[in-house]
Amino acid sequence: MRILITLMLIAAASFATAQTHDELFKDGVSHINSKEYEKAARCLEQALGMAGNAEKLATLSALAYAQLMSGNAHKALENYNKALEIKEGDRQLLFQRAGAFMQLGLTEQAIEDYSSVLQADPENMDAIILRAQAYSIKGDYKKAHEEFSRAIAIEPQNMNAKMGLVLLYQEQEKYNEAMVLINLLIEEQPGSAPLYIARSNIEREQGQYELALMDIAKAIEIEPENANYYTLQSILYEKTGNTSAAEKSKNKATVLQQKLTK
């Protein structure tokens, strides 16, 4: 009799703590919003097992996104494909699936998905810029340039498009063009530390280490708690033979990184 009562209590407790699809889905979305993508994926995988036909598309989409953001592009791609079987041609799903293709190095497939998005929404800035980046990775610099230029023509103040063009010039070792554009961007936004870092990278590639150090010093002045900047500064000091300054910058980077992990 005691055994029977114990089993009934365990069953009742299990029933009481069991979550429904809606509860698991809500928890998964909450974890996504908190950028806890692995936790989100675990909740949504459970939710998917309980999803009815009306719930399946939303659950697959959320699960694929959580997997994509946690770096599990293979699983994400699999679930985006399933979601697109339910809602063929969905722009958001195609856009996100392109991200999975990019993570997997499947550039051609990513370009196809971005192109499908742009057929329906020709001025989708994110799709234009990301397709331009995909062309750049592929080595099709002409098309990449056309896409970045198109983005700038649509939205002249779009910083991502302009920086994409700077990096494209740099990739092709067109340093004069890259420098002209980055200088204009710094004139527009003199308080942007990443722009000084970008210019220092162009200068470093040309062996202009002293100029690069000046730009990194400016970036550090703007963002003194950025450990990455001190690491870059350390590398450049090594290039100039200033080992004591390099060690000092390296130590500063270590201290700041330790702060972040506490």
* pLDDT tens digits along 13-39: 444 456 899 888 998 899 999 999 999
The answer as to whether 202 is a domain residue is yes
CATH label of the domain that carries residue 262: 1.25.40.10
Residue 57 lies in a domain: no
DSSP string, the chain: -HHHHHHHHHHHHHHHHPPPHHHHHHHHHHHHHTT-HHHHHHHHHHHHHH--HHHHHHHHHHHHHHHHHTT-HHHHHHHHHHHHHHSTT-HHHHHHHHHHHHHTT-HHHHHHHHHHHHHH-TT-HHHHHHHHHHHHHHT-HHHHHHHHHHHHHH-TT-HHHHHHHHHHHHHTT-HHHHHHHHHHHHHH-TT-HHHHHHHHHHHHHTT-HHHHHHHHHHHHHH-TT-HHHHHHHHHHHHHTT-HHHHHHHHHHHHHHHHHHH-
Residue 216 lies in a domain: yes
In a domain, 64, yes or no: no
Asked whether residue 69 is domain-assigned, the answer is no
Q: In the structure, what pLDDT confidence band is assigned to residue 9 with cuts at 50, 70 and 90?
A: very low
pLDDT at 190: 96
Residue 262 pLDDT greater than 70, yes or no = no
pLDDT, one tens digit per residue, over 131-189 is: 999 999 999 999 999 999 999 999 999 999 999 999 999 999 999 999 999 999 999 99
Would residue 258 count as lying in a domain?
A: yes
- 144 in a structural domain: no
Task: Report if pTM > 0.75.
Answer: yes
User: Is 122 domain-assigned?
Assistant: no
| Average pLDDT of the residues in 113-130 | 97
Query: What is the reported pLDDT for 5?
Result: 52
Average pLDDT score over residue span 103-121:
97
